[in-house]
Structure 1
């Protein structure tokens, strides 16, 4: 089986074959599917992420879901491998945080049992719901705190692979949404 390090390298090389415009177009298809998903429509509180340039672009969806009356939570890095959730109140509520990622400055959110849905990024996913992140373990440490929350991984089609080396402690996604 291929190592996680090799998989990350292969996915990174695949991303380089697309222009930023092509990635935006692929993102649009993923976000459109996500917005029409019954779990998104029924959720009151949604954990999302503020995307990096090489991830499915979530910048517009956070605002549209907020405008529709949903409580939006975004992660904020608090230390090596640790993050916490903060309420997102709008674009003015963001500041540059760890790794150059925009992070929310809204109030800390700790009522994890009331998170209806988590939309999770990843470097790669497989059809069994296994997820491989960037290797720092932020989501690996956080996801066990929300065991009953429905988890949707979002990715580009080339990020769906046959099999990811999963370990016992890895948290599987309930569903993966891609542009196809």
Structure 2
């Protein structure tokens, strides 16, 4: 199935979930994330869920990391909406946050972090396939960002849904996932760089 059809299908699937189902799925995601070994991980890039998109609640994973792995530094992206690029800001509990014109909560200011220093990236996505190809919102922010990271960075998708068989129009410049955190299990696509 192609990306456009997958975007339509998975936006609709999210809207069909009840609040109870969403809560249960988010609880399960944190339990699966807790199974990942984080030895050697010093910097984790996270995303802030967009309310209108009904995204997985990555803030629960952030809370887990802050409680169980306080030595790990968290990084949150700040979008350049005209250039479709991201800068990366160290996210502490004192970092001022604000919503941009696309409804994305991001840092107003803070210490910039070099993408080369990031060890693990948690990636928002709409769909993905059994090969680790991912489908986002189609603007390419994460492809540009991931291309600037060091080769060993671990790229982890977060999804409430199982993988599709194949994204038929994956591009050569699309950066695939190493793993995807799913409510029932962690799905590994590549083990070369993995935790």
Q: TM-score, normalised by structure 2?
A: 0.83
Bigger shift: 101-110 or 82-91?
101-110
Q: Say what the alpha-carbon RMSD is for the aligned residues.
A: 1.8
Structure 2 counterpart SS, 1:167:
coil
2:77 to 75, 78, 82: 75
Aligned twin of 1:143: 146
**1:22-37 mapped onto 2 (5 Å cutoff):** 22-37=21-36
* Higher helix proportion: 1
Q: Is the 8 A contact 1:35 1:41 kept in 2?
A: no
Q: Is the 8 A contact 1:95 1:103 kept in 2?
A: yes
C-alpha separation between the residues in 2 aligned to 1:57 and 1:34? Answer: 12
C-alpha separation between the residues in 2 aligned to 1:85 and 1:144? Answer: 14
Report how many aligned residue pairs link the two structures: 177
What's the offset of the Cα at 1:91? Answer: 6.7
Structure 1 stretches of 4+ with a deviation exceeding 6 A read none
Aligned twin of 1:166: 170
C-alpha separation between the residues in 1 aligned to 2:94 and 2:56? Answer: 18
Q: Is the 8 A contact 1:46 1:117 kept in 2?
A: yes
Q: Is the 8 A contact 1:11 1:124 kept in 2?
A: yes
Aligned twin of 1:125: 128
**1:8-27 mapped onto 2 (5 Å cutoff):** 8-27=7-26
Gaps of 5+ in 1: none
**1:51-62 mapped onto 2 (5 Å cutoff):** 51-53=49-51, 54-62=54-62
Q: TM-score, normalised by structure 1?
A: 0.89
Structure 2 counterpart SS, 1:161:
coil
C-alpha separation between the residues in 1 aligned to 2:58 and 2:105? Answer: 12
C-alpha separation between the residues in 1 aligned to 2:50 and 2:121? Answer: 17
1:49 to 32, 41, 47: 47
Structure 2 counterpart SS, 1:43:
coil
